């Protein structure tokens, strides 16, 4: 019984990876739209600033990740962005992520690093393009 359940979970892993990418991509995109447009909540930042560049990366990178398009390079790029955000903005406030407000930056960094290594999963534009162009 237990091994049967484990086998079912193992078979579902690629689809769960797609679900993680889609949900995290949507949330990441919302962080960017909050910076760029003040939507759904937040304040607009100056586009020609470090926060503005972060907003562009989060909005458009999040959209690409949500779709699963150019997943590996985009995920690697935004993982780096989140590492920079954590070390520049959050770490100087405190060592502990719960104290310095950096929990989401640290989590996104490692989620995107994982997705860049593991790939987008089967529910993605990248997977569809791969199936379409296979000989």
pLDDT digits (tens, 9 = 90+) for 9-30: 999 999 999 999 999 999 999 9
User: How many domains are there within the chain?
Assistant: 1
Establish if 82 belongs to a structural domain. yes
Establish if 4 belongs to a structural domain. no
Give the global pTM: 0.91
Establish if 3 belongs to a structural domain. no
Token digits of residue 28? 């990441």
pLDDT in tens, 40-56: 988 899 999 999 999 99
Establish if 5 belongs to a structural domain. no
Establish if 22 belongs to a structural domain. yes
pLDDT in tens, 67-115: 999 999 999 999 999 999 999 999 999 999 999 999 999 999 999 999 9
Note down the domain range covering 97.
14-132
DSSP of the chain: -HHHHHHHHHHHHHHHHHHHHHHHHHHHHHHHHHHHH--SSS----TTSHHHHHHHHHHHHHHHHHHTSSHHHHHHHHHHHHHHHIIIIITTT-SSHHHHT-HHHHHHHHHHHHHHHH---SSSHHHHHHHHT--
């Amino acid at each position: 019984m237990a091994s049967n359940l484990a086998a079912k979970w193992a078979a579902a892993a690629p689809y769960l990876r797609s679900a993680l990418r889609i949900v995290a991509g949507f949330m990441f995109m919302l962080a960017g739209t909050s910076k760029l447009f003040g939507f759904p909540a937040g304040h607009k930042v100056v586009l020609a600033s470090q926060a503005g560049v972060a907003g562009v990366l989060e909005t458009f990178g999040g959209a690409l990740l949500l779709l699963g398009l150019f997943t590996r390079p985009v995920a690697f790029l935004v993982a780096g962005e989140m590492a920079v955000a954590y070390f520049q903005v959050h770490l100087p406030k405190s060592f502990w992520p719960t104290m310095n407000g950096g929990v989401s930056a640290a989590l996104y960094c490692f989620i995107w690093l994982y997705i860049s290594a593991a790939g987008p999963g089967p529910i993605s534009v990248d997977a569809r393009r791969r199936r379409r162009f296979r000989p």
